[in-house]
Amino acid sequence: MKNNGNGTPRGISRGVFYKGKRLKFEEDCIILLVTICVVKGKCAMCKEKNIENYNKHIKGVLISEEEIKAAVAKAGKDISDAYDGKPILLVSVLKGAFVFMADLCRAITVPCEIGFMCAKSYYSGTVSAGVVKITMDLEYDVSKYHVIIVEDILDTGRTLNDVVKMLKARNPLSLKVITLLDKPERRVVDFKADVSLFTIEDKFVIGYGLDCNEEYRNLPYIAEYNSSIE
């Protein structure tokens, strides 16, 4: 077999390559291994910092997982008792209420169906009048159902107020609103939910479907977000 002039058979390399550069087989490989270890160490440190940064924005738990479970179970029983034998359509306006919707529908022991909507609101400042644009509509004829809108949090009430008006115009058999959280201090329109599981102060809350920049939705409880920390 012909060789490469250095005692190595042609086609066989005595070195290794890292980032396109051929390294000497011994001391350079040691450098390579050290470099890889340092990079991995830095990645682990970055991950720890990200988790630390994530957790430090959770200021404190306002409503525990156990309290939420108990309230949702009671709401499910009340709906089951009130609508037994009636066609129920649970409607969630995405996407904050998806966790509440999932738990509530499983707490209901009578037949029910679910539907989802997406809505965008356009308002000017504190003016209560505005435009709500439906970006994803229901695939149901609501005139055949008792509609229950399942909401995550009721604050200004503007969007939900307009969604309710829109659905009522479609002549459902009945329509009610159940909200997980109610912040009456934030209301700018005359609107009340039929059922509110928890009334809270005007605080920025996260968890159980509620987010901050799409994070914290997976928390099993409701917490206050610490916005004073960067």
d(CA 219, CA 49): 19
- Does the structure show a pLDDT above 90 at 228? no
What CATH number was assigned to the domain covering residues 60-225?
A: 3.40.50.2020
Q: Which residues are catalytic?
A: 155
d(CA 131, CA 121): 6
The residue ranges of every structural domain in the chain are 16-56, 60-225
d(CA 42, CA 212): 27
- Does the structure show a pLDDT above 70 at 230? no
CB 7 within 8 A of CB 1: no
pLDDT in tens, 22-33: 655 555 655 555
pLDDT in tens, 24-76: 555 565 555 555 555 555 554 445 558 888 888 898 899 999 999 999 999 99
pTM of the predicted model, to two decimals?
Answer: 0.74
pLDDT in tens, 82-127: 999 999 999 998 888 999 999 999 999 999 999 999 887 665 544 4
d(CA 145, CA 19): 64
pLDDT in tens, 163-186: 999 999 999 999 999 999 999 998
